[in-house]
Amino acid sequence: MIHFILGGAKSGKSQYAEIQMKQYVQPWIYLATGRAWDDEMKQKIQHHQERRGTGWITVEEPIQIADYLKQPNHAPILIDCLTLWLTNLMMDERDIEQETIQLVDALQSYGGDIFIVSNEVGQGIVPVEPMARAFRNYAGILHQKIASIAEDFTFIVAGYPMKIKSQERDI
């Protein structure tokens, strides 16, 4: 099952995803897409690692998420986060559309549960810089594709989860 968790910066989405993962037996796989470009990012990565504590296997994969998901594994995975992955693709001048297609296909064929965290970036002002506008547009399209295949979709606002879509149905 695909669980999509979207929210703004510092909204609590990663911590929410980590709590959801803890319903599964250890070890939990944390697929980290972030690159430590600067001191701020290094500190953020360290904070996330310390908060998670023990029981986690961290796999650092800034680009090849789809390839990792194609491995014969059915363990639950937390992917954190798609907007950092998108940043990496843009910085490496990759084909965003092709990479997105490969990711969506790999997510749909993975045998275990996947929790996907991403930042909502399209609710603010229109960015001035062309690259920032391209990023916002790519992120919006990526999020639409992930939301369409996810069985569960939660939007996090100020630490509070709002269910947008759920496999559980009221009868």
Query: Is 9 labelled as part of a ligand binding site?
Result: yes
7 marked among binding-site residues: yes
> Is 33 marked within a binding site?
yes
12 labeled part of a ligand binding site: yes
95 is in an annotated binding site: no
Cβ neighbours of 43 (radius 10 Å): 11
Give me the residues paired with residue 160 across strands.
Answer: 157
Sheet order of strands, 152-157 included: 56-60, 28-32, 77-80, 114-119, 2-7, 152-157, 160-165
Separation of alpha carbons 98 and 12, rounded Å:
30
Query: Is 44 annotated among the ligand-binding residues?
Result: no
The response to whether 11 counts as a known ligand-binding position is yes
Cα 137–chain centre separation = 17
**Is 122 annotated as ligand-binding?**
no
Task: Say if residue 13 carries a ligand binding annotation.
Answer: yes
Residues with catalytic annotation? 48
Residue list for the binding site for GTP = 7-14, 32-34, 60, 80
Residue list for the binding site = 7-14, 32-34, 60, 80
